[in-house]
Amino acid sequence: MIRLHGYWRSTASYRVRIALNLKGVDYDQVTHDLRTGEQAADDYREIAPQGLVPALETDGGIFTQSTAIMEWLDEVFPDPPLLPADPPGRAQVRAMVALVACDIHPLNNLRVLQSLRRDLHAGDRAVNEWIARWIGEGFAALEQQVARRGDGFCFGDAPTLADCCLVPQVFGAERFDVNMAPYPRLREITARCRDLPAFADAHPARQPDADPVA
Question: Could you give the CA distance from residue 122 to residue 33 in angstroms, rounded to a whole number?
Answer: 24
Q: Could you tell me the pTM of the whole model?
A: 0.95
Across the range 85-98, mean pLDDT stands at: 98
Instruction: For the domain covering 87-199, report its CATH number.
Output: 1.20.1050.10
- Domain locations in the chain as residue ranges: 2-80, 87-199
Stretch 73-102: mean pLDDT, rounded?
A: 97
E strand or H helix that includes residue 23? helix 11-23
pLDDT in tens, 55-86: 999 999 999 999 999 999 999 999 999 999 99
155 falls in which pLDDT band (50, 70, 90)? very high
| Average of per-residue pLDDT across 179-207 | 98
Strand order in the sheet with 61-64: 28-31, 2-6, 55-58, 61-64
Strand 2-6 and strand 28-31: the pairing is parallel
Select from 61, 102, 82 the least CA-distant residue to 16.
Answer: 82
For the segment 116-138, the average pLDDT, to the nearest whole number, is 94
What's 53's DSSP letter? S
Other CB atoms closer than 10 Å to residue 183's CB: what's the count? 21
131: which DSSP letter? H
Q: Is 12 exposed, middle or buried (0-12, 13-18, 19+ CB in 10 A)?
A: buried
Of 39, 187, 42, 181, the residue nearest 110 (C-alpha):
39
- CA 40 – CA 117 distance, rounded (Å): 20
What distance in Å separates the CA atoms of residue 16 and residue 105, rounded to the nearest whole number?
14
Q: Is the pLDDT of residue 213 over 90?
A: no
Q: What is the dotted CATH code of the domain comprising 2-80? A: 3.40.30.10
Rounded to whole angstroms, the Cα distance separating 105 from 12 reads 8
**pLDDT tier at 110 (50, 70, 90 boundaries)?**
confident
Strand pairing class (55-58; 2-6): antiparallel
Q: Mean pLDDT throughout 51-57?
A: 97
Grouping H, G, I as helix, E, B as strand and the rest as coil, residue 82 is coil
The torsion angles phi and psi of 2, rounded to 5 degrees, stand at -130, 125
pLDDT at residue 214 is higher than 70:
no
Which amino acid is it at 47?
I
